[in-house]
Structure 1
Amino acid sequence: MSIRPTNPRPIGRALAAAALGLATVGCSDGDVSDSGSAGTPVPPATSGLAVSAEELDVDLESPTVVLGADDGTLLVAERAGNVRRIDPEDPSTSTVVLDITADVGDVSGEKGLLGLAMSPDEDELYASYTRAEDGAGVITTFPLGDDGVAAASGRELLMVPQPFANHNGGHVVVDDDGLLWFGLGDGGGGGDPESNGQNPATLLGSLLRVRPTLDGDDPYEIPDDNPFVDGSTPAGDEAAPEAWAYGLRNPWRFTFDSATGDLWIADVGQGAYEEINHVTVGEGLGLGANFGWNRREGTHPYTDGPDPAEEPGDLVDPVFDYDHSGGRCSVTGGVVVRDSPGLPDLDGVYLWADLCEGVLHGLRTNDASEADGTTAPDNAESGVTDLDLGAQVPGITSFGTAADGEVYAVSVGESRLWRLTQDG
């Protein structure tokens, strides 16, 4: 399903509660209010597949990110500020390749080392974290030596003040062209009290896209094809030139499909609905897209937000959303499976999970689902089918793909690293 402008859909009223809380692997902003009940979720389709999560024997402390390197090793970021290199075939020992624990310091609330990426040539390591002195969101790049260990000091690329200690977002990806993508939450506080999600002039509540520079006075350049490169929207409103899209609440992981270039964004909801957005490369990757927060939560009007009559036009619907029934609380976005030895029948499936439910799911486009008989009719309009893959992944906070295509996952609360494999 490609992104498209839509009109708001009618719903019942929503619950207002918060989502991702790394410190407790919980779901509260401290602003809970009961304003109704969510709708009935569409049950996952029967996939006919069973996936297992194999726990690797490795000593980790609150891992937040797992990232594959070209040499077959994994880089795992720990919330306090260490990055470890692990051989998945011999995981019992690991090497610390970056230590920024002094820079991170405070890991209360949702703070800590939240994102990690490497340059295409793997000579630079990008770390996204909240800094100790004031909780601001920072991206710093560290040169990687021939031994795979990062330099002790780095170059700060970007600093974004955070008004609250939650919704820090923090996921970072470097694409094949060397462009750095950075997902930022709305600044927190519950309900977006500063209306950052609908303000294209702020970096908060946005997906950013810049080209890092490794020397000179400017830490990054603005790509010429960014939608707000001139500092304004098509309507003439002020806009941040770094922003590629906005209207996000707390994008907890996004990924590019290595085969198609499509972009998948998981966005944590306020208290009633979680959403997953899919942007197809054929539509220019949705330049300037407004994903709707805080006018909408998923495909539903956010009832504690601004007057719905003031909703801007051309909001972009997610391709999938779900409510908090069954103990669900917060979406964790994953990766698109491609050429995975361990998951051969899931090629092209986008993996995701819910932090509290702890069950592995997959989204498959309905074109592919019709071919194997797993299409769920209720999902025909959105273009995807949700598959219950069975594996238990308690407290999952991130997915990653190794160089050989194997898929891994980590849990910050459980301090675990899993390898995902298909049964049978």
Structure 2
Amino acid sequence: MVRYLLLTIFLAVGVLSAAAPFSKTSKIELRPVFHRKFTQPVYVGAYPVAASDCIEPYAVVEKPGIIRLESLKRACGQVLLDIRDRVHDGSLEEGLLGLAFAPDFKTSRAFYIYYSASKPRRTILARVHVAEGSSKANTDIEELLSVRQPYSNHNGGMLEFGPDGYLYIGVGDGGSGGDPRGYAQNLSSHLGKILRIDPRTKTGYKIPVSNPFFKSSGDAYSEKREIFAWGLRNPWRFSFTPDARLIVADVGQNEYEELSFVGRGENMGWNLMEGFHCFKPAKNCMQKNLKLPFYEYDHGVGQSILGGYVYTGNALATLKQKYIFADSVSGRIFAIDYQVTDPRAETLIQAPGLFSSFGRLRDNELVIAELQTGKIYQLVPTAQVGQK
């Protein structure tokens, strides 16, 4: 998610209050939504079906291991899943990190989670079911994939179903710093990768035949068949554009944060490169057959990129079809036209706090979760403040 230095920043920065522009140059404001605070929220998304006593529910993931159902209209207080007894939440980057509902949830009642566990340290992809007519998940969780983690940081955690119906999984490079064991470029490891599977099975999952290493034997010394793309440091959050392109925000190491279009079988360059620049070695690195980012910024701007979504709502008309993202350290929220050559990001607002994840509301408006206060904020035009 973010660097260890954020532990200091986490304690030192101010916190967000009511909706405010924070500076006269802010293009947007942040308005609190929901009727409660959460404990370290790291994901928010629409719950696909109705829930009793909870109007138009949203699922909010709390890093310690709880998924809550809440409404924008009134407090619900419902718990969809509580796996705190399974989740290892020992560091800032460990915990219950990802959630994705199956596209056919209304019939399959299946959703997927990604969480940290201990003894041994690992991250787990699991499938969970909710019985028909219930708003509480079953406790018989099916583990689909377990990835050993040598360090506590760079776990990744994003889960997203693509337009192709497959489940995409972001896994970090194993942590420490600089990828000391070279996992991101090692095709016999799941670490430092975007994985893609077809979970539309009663048990386990299938490998899509179009995966680049579908024909691999899959043994310990062969390419992992789940790999979709590799050469990533910590793809904490990613999303698909309306035209079905995958944008991954990859958290940088020493100097640069990056946004990339990621395609099947592509090597995104880490730890040979950081952004557009050689990393290992620092000069004259091997750049052949690498996919470079479409945008980067240096650590004078921010130090931990947070991927978001292409904006398709109506409240922020000037941001239509722009990709919205943030930096968790600097508190900046940006907009960028991802469809042009050599794009430039525009700062919409700079706010105190520790942003952990974007989310989309049912009307396609965007929200952002703040880890420290446990609040979730909607991105709104400045003119709306004081009218609510």
Alignment-derived partner of residue 324 in structure 1: 299
Cα deviation for residue 66 of structure 1 reads 1.1
Aligned 1:22-421 pairs, distance under 5 A = 24=7, 50-56=27-33, 57-70=35-48, 72-90=56-74, 92-122=75-105, 123-145=109-131, 146-216=133-203, 219-231=204-216, 238-257=222-241, 259-279=242-262, 286-302=263-279, 305-306=280-281, 309=284, 311=286, 313-326=288-301, 328-338=302-312, 340-365=313-338, 367=340, 381-382=341-342, 384-390=343-349, 392=351, 394-421=353-380
C-alpha contact 1:87 1:94 (8 A) present in aligned 2: no
Post-superposition Cα deviations, 1:202-222, rounded to whole Å, max 9, x if no partner, equal 110000000114434xx1111
**Alpha-carbon spacing, 1:393–1:263, altered in 2? closer, same or farther (3 Å):** farther
Partner of 1:290: helix, strand, or coil? coil
- How many angstroms apart in 1 are the aligned matches of 2:60 and 2:97? 11
Which residue identity lines up with residue 88 of structure 1 in the other structure?
A: L
Partner of 1:357: helix, strand, or coil? coil
- How many angstroms apart in 1 are the aligned matches of 2:198 and 2:5? 30
Cα deviation for residue 135 of structure 1 reads 2.3
Cα deviation for residue 24 of structure 1 reads 2.2
Partner of 1:24: helix, strand, or coil? helix
- How many angstroms apart in 2 are the aligned matches of 1:412 and 1:420? 16
- How many angstroms apart in 1 are the aligned matches of 2:180 and 2:111? 34
Structure 1: give runs of 5+ residues left out of the alignment.
1-17, 28-47, 280-285, 368-380
Cα deviation for residue 94 of structure 1 reads 2.7
> TM-score, normalized by length of structure 1?
0.78
Cα deviation for residue 109 of structure 1 reads 4.3
C-alpha contact 1:182 1:209 (8 A) present in aligned 2: yes
Bigger RCO of structures 1 and 2 (CA < 8 A, at least 6 apart):
1
Cα deviation for residue 252 of structure 1 reads 1.5
Which residue identity lines up with residue 172 of structure 1 in the other structure?
A: L
Cα deviation for residue 390 of structure 1 reads 2.0
Of all paired residues, the percent bearing the same amino acid is 33
Partner of 1:239: helix, strand, or coil? coil
C-alpha contact 2:26 2:350 (8 A) present in aligned 1: no
- How many angstroms apart in 2 are the aligned matches of 1:391 and 1:166? 26
C-alpha contact 1:79 1:107 (8 A) present in aligned 2: no
- How many angstroms apart in 1 are the aligned matches of 2:323 and 2:287? 30
C-alpha contact 1:50 1:391 (8 A) present in aligned 2: no
> TM-score, normalized by length of structure 2?
0.85
- How many angstroms apart in 1 are the aligned matches of 2:81 and 2:315? 29
- How many angstroms apart in 1 are the aligned matches of 2:113 and 2:8? 22
Partner of 1:66: helix, strand, or coil? strand
C-alpha contact 1:124 1:141 (8 A) present in aligned 2: yes
Cα deviation for residue 70 of structure 1 reads 3.6
**Alpha-carbon spacing, 1:353–1:307, altered in 2? closer, same or farther (3 Å):** closer
Cα deviation for residue 26 of structure 1 reads 5.2
- How many angstroms apart in 2 are the aligned matches of 1:118 and 1:387? 32
Cα deviation for residue 225 of structure 1 reads 0.6
**Alpha-carbon spacing, 1:391–1:73, altered in 2? closer, same or farther (3 Å):** farther
**Alpha-carbon spacing, 1:393–1:420, altered in 2? closer, same or farther (3 Å):** farther
- How many angstroms apart in 1 are the aligned matches of 2:320 and 2:30? 17
Alignment-derived partner of residue 53 in structure 2: none
Q: Which runs of 4+ in 1 moved over 3 A?
A: 306-310
How many residues get paired? 356
Which residue identity lines up with residue 30 of structure 2 in the other structure?
A: A
- How many angstroms apart in 1 are the aligned matches of 2:5 and 2:101? 24
Alignment-derived partner of residue 382 in structure 2: 423
Post-superposition Cα deviations, 1:11-47, rounded to whole Å, max 9, x if no partner, equal xxxxxxx9534982759xxxxxxxxxxxxxxxxxxxx
Which residue identity lines up with residue 277 of structure 2 in the other structure?
A: H
- Taking only aligned residues, the RMSD between alpha carbons, in angstroms, comes to 2.4
Cα deviation for residue 154 of structure 1 reads 1.4
**Alpha-carbon spacing, 1:22–1:409, altered in 2? closer, same or farther (3 Å):** farther
C-alpha contact 2:65 2:87 (8 A) present in aligned 1: yes
Cα deviation for residue 394 of structure 1 reads 2.3
